[in-house]
Structure 1
């Protein structure tokens, strides 16, 4: 039943006497020092996602103060409240395992506590999609802002950025090109301040696509975490939240099929993270529709990669900010966008673009006739290895490996890979295809960013920089290489990936959009007949049980089936 009340009278605790419930609530909120005048104003809830484990959110307290200032200047009452905070490097077994928990926390706390609108503060990879998933389900007026990207570091005159350069330099260390002393020196320079990774990783990707779909005020995606504009944007976000409370503009009116298509278009144009597809699919499921994977390929064919940022290019997010941010990209592809979509600003996307400052000469965002990569950043693959689909970030792959056939070197789990990958006895050649099984949503569990399988040490020492690697895992948006991800159904639920054996020929043909193992259907069925699921698939208690019972495959965003607006008839295995 919809609650028509506002402010402190909204969503009262149920004591059987509404008058007493409001009386009691006011008694306790006055213990916080609020006056009756303050309590009569629109209440704007602010998600506090700060954590001592989360460097990406180190500046959240400052952002909250700026949001509060904006709320109060607009005549509202700001009240912050804590929710789950997730950092990629501090979440066992993986941050993706906890994303749905954070979305549930967001949904329930927004719904349970009296607020007329909410300000969502995200940053590190899974926090932005979790907040948007929760906001879509709760569906009260909400607006997003982000912590912003880090500034770049420097090592012996070389500009560094987490975490593309983390991976590149660690690879050089594994190959013996960087010694122990220097890698420790580098370690202190890769992340020199607060904020998210300053390359086109998942955090940057989700910030940009969130702005594109209209859930963030214009310009907010690329402002560096330490920049004064970050706080000014937060203040404007707070002020706009008060207006949203009065207007009643809800997330489901902003995040539509058309605005989601805008997000996918921008995902392709910026060379965004493969994770963006999983998260957008999850958000779409909360809104009541499926993300159109056919559109992903169609838009990819139409939309070249225009943003020259690592890992597909050479610049960093602060350079995109200096080049004009997302607006500079939108002006290149405006004719491909659904520009009549309403955004959280209350204006259409077309109006936002028109009102932004004029563009200026820069070398970060390319023109359509001079792209970084043609044919789209991401490509969907199908084939007998991936009946439910797979993804490759072709813009960050080695061109000559985009069509490749080679013998499989199979790792049956993350533990198996860790044990054998660097063994001198590993039977692997540069043309081998590295296959990782049981690293998907249930197999790992949590679909970790393990798809970026390191080059075996003995090949790295020979100068091998890239190989075809396939798995049911994800990889960081900061990673690069000829890597096929999100293979569905995953190995742990009986997908064909789990049937591949050492020496089987695997064929990748990105131009054709296919990934296959060169085995007959009869052979695959014979192997399936003797296949056994990993013992760990399932749990007896707690969140882990809920996760195994309800998590869906990658094409459904790895969301929980019961959280979708329209659950599948039965959980997808």
Structure 2
């Protein structure tokens, strides 16, 4: 069984280029920092730990991270380090327009340069909301300084009239119920108060909890981190232990490139299948892998996840919430189950310095209705299905555990929306020629098209269909979907419509067929007709001029490779530089 071999200690630390010695430049750096009341011996060569904090009043999921940072600092002090809290770009899912995804790469770039340009020897990535976890992992991967994740944790369960309320999941459910006439607007407003009753991120297996699970499955967080509720005292303990651990990681020189190997990414993909994780994890893990230099593809996602049963009975795929998942034993139980089934690279290293199997082999499952036996799995073939065909040459994704079984093989007439505004203008019109057998198609919502690739792929159904009692239809787009959402929804269609992918030329009345078992998606027109339509296609919106939006539009890559910027892929390291004053 492999374990990490620490580098010899003591070594000259990176921060000593700023703080060690008696030169004018060193006195400049050190002297200014002393105005915070730091004694001289703090600069004697002990590790400087950057606590990269994504706290913001406008990022509700992360609103408690200032308090959590104090526990991280306590751990760093206890282990002999020197903690410095560094606020970094916080991309809130709840507030950013046009979409938080547009700013994931900006957050990663800004954080990378905060690490690269400052006297930091190791990093604690203090994250929570959907995009903060991948953006900081991308930054850490690019710089390759010792780094460890601690997440803010999920909210407590919501309750409304005796029913569990899952953040996000019930928002979609209740909204559809209002349109169907099954719930009043007043009841919807009453239910709002029950959706977010404590600090923390979504209490479903949405993107925030999925990415917390991905960080743990990759080995980048301490075992058990992912599921502890935000307000549970054990979340604060986890933060303090993380502060202690990062100091030793710096001394051992244990870096992201040692941990985030191909074996680790394979583990994460399989864990995502087992937990019924968000389709957003596909884009984020592809981007993180690109920063480390691992050639991860959509085909890897399909191959590795195909035989993984979904055993975590959480919304949106199941019925429970993150509180119950934690009480049942959390992610370590899932990882152990994968190991027992031969679906885990057991020797993959973690931030503990031990292997992932070492961390989980003795854990127990305390509720088999929450973490199910394999024979009672929500679906025996979970994971993320990657569909390919003439409508998606580079691939599109679907989450089988959140889909309706009877729609996994379906042929229907396309009802086309040119963009999100076209959809909003038409969907509530009873004159819209649509029924439950149709396939809803939305264009121009990919990385360049929206721009930013918003979570609009789970298009709400038309009221006249909902009133029949129908709750699901096949929906296809180049957009993303919230991890809290559900339905037979084909997402991330690549190439996207805005760059002239086949999705751009779908017309009302075209027949479309999906067959998830065969991993196919087909637009039923001849190759000659398809090529003629593509040759006649022209972009319907001009490229943005100026500002970050222009940078994004110019450099963002497709969803099939992670939607990162072309110039940020690859681990570039953290060169030490000293300015001259």
State TM-score, norm by structure 2.
0.94
How far off its partner does 1:357 sit?
4.1
Partner of 2:498: 492
Q: Distance in 2 between matches of 1:516 and 1:318?
A: 41
Indicate which of 25, 30, 33 corresponds to 2:29. 25
Partner of 2:316: 311
Partner of 2:149: 144
Is 2:508 aligned against 1:508?
no
Task: Note the 1:471-550 alignment, pairs <5 A.
Answer: 471-536=477-542, 538-550=543-555
Partner of 2:348: 341
How far off its partner does 1:140 sit?
0.4
Structure 2 gap segments, 5+ residues each: 1-10, 573-581
Is 2:67 aligned against 1:62?
yes
Residues 433, 470 of structure 1: 8 Å contact kept: yes
How far off its partner does 1:292 sit?
3.4
Q: Higher relative contact order at CA 8 Å, sep ≥6: structure 1 or structure 2?
A: 2
Q: Name the stretch that deviates more: 330-339 or 406-415.
A: 330-339
1:102-127 per-residue CA deviation (whole Å, 9 max, x = no partner) reads 10111110111111111001111111
How far off its partner does 1:287 sit?
1.1
Indicate which of 196, 211, 224 corresponds to 1:206. 211
Task: Note the 1:88-99 alignment, pairs <5 A.
Answer: 88-99=93-104
Q: Distance in 1 between matches of 2:208 and 2:180?
A: 29
Is 2:370 aligned against 1:364?
yes
Indicate which of 221, 228, 231 corresponds to 1:223. 228
Cα distance change on mapping 1:371 and 1:19 into 2, 3 Å: same
How far off its partner does 1:158 sit?
1.5
Cα distance change on mapping 1:357 and 1:266 into 2, 3 Å: closer
Is 2:79 aligned against 1:74?
yes
Residues 386, 497 of structure 1: 8 Å contact kept: yes
Residues 443, 534 of structure 1: 8 Å contact kept: no
Is 2:404 aligned against 1:398?
yes
RMSD: 1.6
1:314-370 per-residue CA deviation (whole Å, 9 max, x = no partner) reads 11111110011111111211021111111101111121113x544445321112222
State TM-score, norm by structure 1.
0.95
1:453-485 per-residue CA deviation (whole Å, 9 max, x = no partner) reads 000122112222110000000001110001000
Is 2:44 aligned against 1:42?
no
Q: Give SS of 1:422's match.
A: coil
Number of residue pairs matched by the alignment: 559
Partner of 1:184: 189
Cα distance change on mapping 1:21 and 1:487 into 2, 3 Å: same
Q: Distance in 2 between matches of 1:535 and 1:471?
A: 18
Residues 142, 292 of structure 2: 8 Å contact kept: yes
1:209-238 per-residue CA deviation (whole Å, 9 max, x = no partner) reads 110110000000000000000000000000
Q: Distance in 2 between matches of 1:404 and 1:525?
A: 24
Q: Distance in 2 between matches of 1:562 and 1:277?
A: 20
Cα distance change on mapping 1:535 and 1:359 into 2, 3 Å: closer
Q: Give SS of 1:506's match.
A: strand
Q: Distance in 1 between matches of 2:120 and 2:496?
A: 41
Cα distance change on mapping 1:502 and 1:361 into 2, 3 Å: closer
Q: Distance in 1 between matches of 2:279 and 2:201?
A: 17
Cα distance change on mapping 1:384 and 1:234 into 2, 3 Å: same
Structure 1 gap segments, 5+ residues each: 568-573
